[in-house]
Amino acid sequence: MYEYKEEIVIEPEAPVKPAREAKPKKGFGFKRTIALVCLSVVLGAGTLGGGVGAGIMLTRHFLPEKTQTPGAEAWPVFSYGENDVNVVPMEVKLTSFSELVKDVAQSVVSINVTGTAQGLFGIAESQGAGSGFIYDIDEEYVYVATNNHVVAGMSSVNISLDDKETVEAKIVGLDSPSDLAVIAALKKDVDALGIPYKAAKLGDSSLLAMGDQVIAMGNSLGAGQIVTYGIISAVNKQVNVEGKKLDVMRTDAAINMGNSGGPLVNSNGEVIGINTVKFFGDGIEAMGYSIPINNAKEILEGLRVDGVIRKPYIGILKPQTVNESVMAQYNLPSTGVLVSGVDENSGAAEAGLEPWDLIVGLNGEKIASAEDLAAKISTAQVGDEVRLEVYRNNEKLELTVVLGMASGEE
């Protein structure tokens, strides 16, 4: 705290003896007063404070009424004091994520896989790398979440906590439609490494907004654990990957090959996404996508418990949307979904559904598109019966289909 207090005193002029006829003097005048103040500034540093102080006082108050006494004029005494000034230095807090990264790193694993592929000279082994994170631990196993495309079809899977020592893991469950998988290593094998580890904290991805800070962690390019920093660029997006539609969020944190399956972490150290895919090419930059953790939680638990996701399956192959334009062009009786093919081992085949049937309703509700049909089927359970309304050769039929279970490898 700085303190500054100064008192400025303007002394009254000496009385003037009256002449033969006492006449009141005119006031000193505003202009003359300013001139006097300016003169005091010129006279030297000794009067600088007084001159400036008087100038400020006079300009603020425009000279209050003067006091007159008989035969003389007197100016009142003014004092000017500056209020105490509190000087508070600005505090700038620079955020480091090093402690957060150290904590979360105890849940992140590097995944190395070996598979077989047909080569020019016969069957050959192929090597691959990915990432994952520990999301559950019980008395026997350490469970790791990752992407389906990282481990599906692999003959061996190993995980590492420090990019040096590895332990063997097994595939617990795969789900191709969501591109999620669960692998597990024996807890005693992981304990034997002597490296601290723990299950990651899972956050709430529904709370994310554009601009939120995030960190991507994983086995980037197979070179071991690497951390990149960025923000959430977009939420509630959908991308097509190898014929599958994934609900994702976008980040500008660098995601590269080997990052797949690794966690996207918020500034609280909570996993809010699973890094899955990156778009690249000319004119494309910083377009990485992650599966929101809220979308993954139920699937991961289903894979851990059952090894599969019990999703209902009707058995319609390549359904085609019939809109009003298509209806008019091919002289069809209604809009709806045209059946291109039927899985012969499905409930649809058993119910008598045939290729080129036109589905127009399900359980009494109109079906407008292939997406509409898929959405309604997804809300049912395996083993449920659904009633399809279809047109076949312009004749309306009703078929009852028992829903089967979708394979995780479809």
CA angle, 145 then 150 then 151, to 5°: 80
Query: Tokens 């951390």 belong to which residue?
Result: 227
Question: Which candidate, 330, 335, 320, 329, places its Cα nearest to that of 367?
Answer: 335
71: left (phi over 0), alpha (psi -120 to 50) or beta: left
Task: Please state, in angstroms and rounded to a whole number, the distance separating the CA atoms of residues 402 and 371.
Answer: 20
179 included as an active-site residue? yes
Instruction: Determine whether 294 is exposed, middle or buried from the number of CB atoms within 10 Å of its CB (0-12, 13-18, 19+).
Output: middle
Catalytic residue among 107, 149, 334, 346, which?
Answer: 149
Alpha-carbon distances of 213 from 219, 225, 256, 278, 362, rounded to whole Å: 21, 19, 19, 18, 44
Catalytic residue among 107, 220, 260, 290, which?
Answer: 260
In the chain, the amino acid numbered 106 is: Q
**Cα(first)–Cα(last) distance of the chain, in Å?**
72
Catalytic residue among 179, 233, 290, 346, which?
Answer: 179
Q: Which two three-digit tokens encode residue 324?
A: 């009003």
384 included as an active-site residue? no
Question: Which candidate, 311, 58, 68, places its Cα nearest to that of 176?
Answer: 311
61 included as an active-site residue? no
Task: Please state, in angstroms and rounded to a whole number, the distance separating the CA atoms of residues 322 and 114.
Answer: 45
CA 121 distance to own-chain centroid: 47
The catalytic site residues sit at 149, 179, 260
